[in-house]
Amino acid sequence: MLVVLDSNIFIFALRDEMSFCADILKLSGIKFRCIIPKMVLKEVFERLKVIEGKDFASFAVYLLHTGQIELISDEIIPQEMILKYKEKGAKKGDAIIAAFVEWVKAD
């Protein structure tokens, strides 16, 4: 199974704000493969720096080094896929995530 995390789910998981989000992170790499587009990591890092501080934000980067979460460049998503979601009314970031999920064929 392939799972894509958006920035909110990733942050909720790291901060243990919602148990199902934390469970997703705990089981990542064990029960399923978890990937994020590069833009999500940037957004998570910036938001966590403000909310929790730089050291805690660095923990998100650490998870990538452990192999629990795979980072995939969002620059390789076909632009026509992103445009398709923008035309449906999605904001830029949401359109990128939606196109990414479709492109990687996430479950």
pLDDT one-digit tens code per residue, 83-107? 999 999 999 999 999 999 999 999 8
3-state secondary structure labels for all residues of the chain: CEEECCHHHHHHHHHCCCHHHHHHHHHECCCEEEEEEHHHHHHHHHHHHHHCCHHHHHHHHHHHHHCCCEEECHHHCCHHHHHHHHHCCCCHHHHHHHHHHHHHCCC
pLDDT over 80 (residue 59) = no
Q: Read off the pTM.
A: 0.80
